[in-house]
Chains A and B, each alone.
Chain A
Amino acid sequence: MDKSATWTGLSGLLAAALLAVGCTESVGPARRGPGTPQFDVAANGIALDQVNGTLPEQGTALLKGFNPTNPHLGDAIIVTFFWVGSTNTNIITSVTDHLADGTAVGNTYTPVEFVSAGGISMATYVATNVQNFPEGTFPSGEKILVVQADLASSIQDGGIMMSAFTGVSTVAAQAMGGHSKAFGSGSSFPTVADPGALAIDANALAYGVTMSNAVVGVDPPVGFTTITVLSDAAVVTEANYAVQANAGSVDPQWSWHFNSPSTWLATALVLNPPSPAPGNLTVTTSTTGSSLDPDGYTVTVDGALSRAIAINGSVTFTGLSAGSHSVALSGVAANCVVSGGNSKTAGGTVTASFTVICSTTSKLTGGGKLGDGRNFASFGSEAKQTGGEVEWVQHCLDGVQAGSSTCPIGNFTFHGTMTVGSYGAVTGSPSCRTWSGTGTVNDKDIPSKSGTYSFTVNAACDNGEPGRGTDFIDITIGGYHNFGYLTGGNIQRQKSN
């Protein structure tokens, strides 16, 4: 892209815009109508409400009104003042607001960053939860909210850029996140203006503003929306913002199109949304199967708040703090299993549901030998609705045998733990059960094969006694698969409860 050509076109647009901004027009985004509820914004997140600004101004004050539409009560207002003149200290003595008719408003504007270099200066202030002014549009201007900085000394060229955001926390200490500033110089494109990275939470606002003493173009930070650009014969300023979807860090960087030695200033800050309000958590249970738990369950939140709950019922915990909470179901009968586990974390939701499955055929045990000759396995297993384990020892007396179904990785032992809820019948084989889980292989011949693997007992079948030649087992451990009728031992499936 030809940046110079782009800037030439932009300059023309800016010139037209600045004429309006310098008077009474807002350059803000879509506006909300009067009477909109003022504290429901948290639910909708942070959004740009009103924007205004002007450049150039002279004298001992920099001020501007939100013509023609005021921000909303509860908004946060970010104001950045610019002026030509490099000083070691901020010459702003106070920042106040009032209505255009002179009525004092009285919001507090907190200084956030001041940066000065190369004969230019920039200071940024924030007021949160602004109040005490009328909402709405005022074409005649007398009720417009005006923000003003008084200066310790007169300036010949300065300006003000202000933006109001809805959805920022109304608690100042909570609203203010990190902030940073920097300055630098360059003489060619791209000269990167980088105030530094800031930590930021999810749904928080990142605001950045830059200024240069060269009247050239500037590319905005990637991922940021431009709030406004102001310029005059001596300086260019630009402000941008982004609402972050995820927690992490933010680092706005502008690329200045300098073509001669020039100076840039940059500031970034973070404003946070309000913390969610306390809420309620409803826990529900649903129990199916046979031999259902006779005395119900107990549900416990955060390991401390416990209440009884019916096997098909619900209880509501009220007044819980915002955020995630652990929810545990206990008191479940031995012949029942909680699908997906007995504990959950409820975050971003107001319900936690547990499904409990009960069964009268609740256990299968067995052990013995599979295979014969020099390749064989010994095993033991126990499985029921509430859990189980498998111990499997594969013997390969001639070591690793490529192509062998049972000795592709040689001698190994495996101990697996059943995933609760995986135990069930095998379709079409009433004497068989299946379950799965994860465990650890210790391979004696190929140590690199040792490690954690998933396993599935595809079928363990109790076909009668004695078990040899009658009972059957089929197991998969990672890529290992072995199955057949027992050559020793027995498998027993519980038939009574």
Chain B
Amino acid sequence: MTVTTIHRRVARWLSGLGALAVVSGLTLAPVRAEAQSGSVSGRGAAAAVTTATSAQQFATATLPSAGGMADSELASVVVPSTLSANGLASITTGQLDDSLVSATTTAEAADVNVLNGLLTVQAVLAVATSYANGVAATSESNGSTLLGLVVNGVSYGDVPPARNTRVNLPGVGYVVLNEQILTGDGVHNTDLTVNMIHVYLTDPVLGTPAGDIVVGAARSTASL
């Protein structure tokens, strides 16, 4: 794929998007479950597209307040000129016990095409797991996967990029691969968000945020 071709595709997407405004990135609001002195939360979204005029999330699952399991599936999704993907799914599980609370969320998609081929990937899996036992609270992203990733003509193969890898997308904005946002005190609470593909759109003229596209978004929280 040539740079010229990519620029044409981006131009088509931008013309279809119309006027863009500042839009915050994908937010997976935690849903806290209180039991004894602990709580867990989890939420997954296989994909999400946010623009000035709309916000869409696909195959989302939110952990019940008492723990347990929630899941969602979607065979395919097409947001014209913006995103297409197959096999979208999110699963979140969690449990509160006297001495341990934990939550695990997975979010995945396959055959992903972002912005008319500007970014493609064969398989995306985000895994976010959090634990808290009253003494330590930790989170991890083990198992998170990006297979067959190609960004702006550059192939990353099957090796997942290092966390929070930023790649500029001329005329569009930039993408953060394997984005991980970790918060918490590490003792009693921990919160991890994993966005395997997070495209930040910017206005080509003003350079201001214009929306975002996320594929594979998983969040887990544990507190005890």
Contacts and interface: CB of A to CB of B under 8 A. Distances in A.
Partners in one complex: yes
18 contacts: A365-B95, A367-B104, A367-B105, A369-B106, A379-B91, A380-B92, A380-B106, A381-B69, A397-B148, A466-B140, A466-B142, A487-B142, A487-B143, A488-B143, A488-B144, A489-B104, A489-B129, A495-B98
Contacts of B73: 391, 413, 415
Contacts of B123: 374, 395, 397
Interface string A141-153: 0000000000000
A68 B99 CA distance: 90
Interface of B: 67-69, 71, 73, 75, 86-87, 89, 91-95, 97-100, 102, 104-106, 108, 110, 122-123, 125, 127, 129, 131, 133, 138, 140-145, 147-148, 158
Given A368-B127, A467-B129, A373 B104 contact: no
A486 B123 CA distance: 19
A488 B131 CA distance: 13
A369 B68 contact: no
A71 interface: no
Contact of A496 (B97, B122, B127): B97
Given A366-B104, A373-B158, A489-B104, A466 B138 contact: yes
B97 A489 contact: no
A56 B69 CA distance: 85
A365 B142 contact: no
B129 A393 contact: no
Interface string A395-407: 1010000000000
Contact of A411 (B71, B87, B102, B145): B87
Main secondary structure of the interface of A (DSSP, over half): strand
Given A365-B68, A413-B73, A415-B71, A397 B106 contact: no
Interface in A391-438: 391, 393, 395, 397, 411, 413, 415
Contacts of B140: 466, 468
A382 B93 contact: yes
A373 B159 CA distance: 9
Contacts of A368: 104, 106, 127, 129, 142-143
A495 B108 CA distance: 31
B171 to A, nearest CB: 31
A382 B110 CA distance: 25
A494 B36 CA distance: 14
Contact of A492 (B98, B100, B143): B100
Contact of B131 (A369, A374, A466, A496): A466
A457 to B, nearest CB: 13
A378 interface: yes
A415 B91 CA distance: 11
A465 interface: yes
Contacts of B141: 488
Contacts of B131: 465-466, 490
Contacts of B144: 488
Nearest to B89: A393
Contacts of A492: 95, 97, 100, 102
Nearest to B105: A367
Contact of B122 (A397, A465, A468, A487): A397
Interface in A336-376: 363, 365-369, 373-374, 376
A171 B160 CA distance: 83
A274 B93 CA distance: 58
Contacts of A366: 93, 104
A325 interface: no
- Residue with the highest number of chain A CB atoms closer than 10 Å, among B92, B104, B106: B104
- Residue with the highest number of chain B CB atoms closer than 10 Å, among A368, A373, A395: A368
